[in-house]
Amino acid sequence: MNFARSGYYRQKAGGSFKTPLVLQKQRRMKLIIFNGIVLIALAVFLYYQARYRNIDRIFLSAQLAELALGLINMILIGRNIASGQKPSGRIKQVSKS
């Protein structure tokens, strides 16, 4: 719950910035949140399927979907971390020449 609350306050504080970097991060965060909701639903589905030993093609497809969505979420979170460190100078921006 604290994570959601801190995200809300961060959105309120960063909402006034309209730089392309902030807008990209906000778009990615919306995808991350949606992706997380789908991942939670898949995890619950897989838990009950495994608990009742109902391992079939649907179960395996759901596992593959969970794996792919988890990978996408990790990539999006990594990109948000990298773009968050660019303004501080921790990551040097490559100049295009």
Number of CB atoms found within 10 A of residue 50's CB: 12
Residues of 58-94 as b/e, b for ≥16 C-beta within 10 angstroms? eeeebbeebeebeeebeebeeebeebeeeeeeeeeee
- pLDDT per position in the chain (97 positions), as tens? 666 666 666 666 655 677 888 889 889 999 999 999 999 999 999 999 999 999 999 999 999 999 999 999 999 999 999 888 877 766 666 656 5
d(CA 76, CA 29): 8
Residue 71 φ/ψ, nearest 5 degrees: -65, -45
User: Crossing angle of helices 2-14/20-51, nearest 10°?
Assistant: 160
pTM as predicted = 0.72
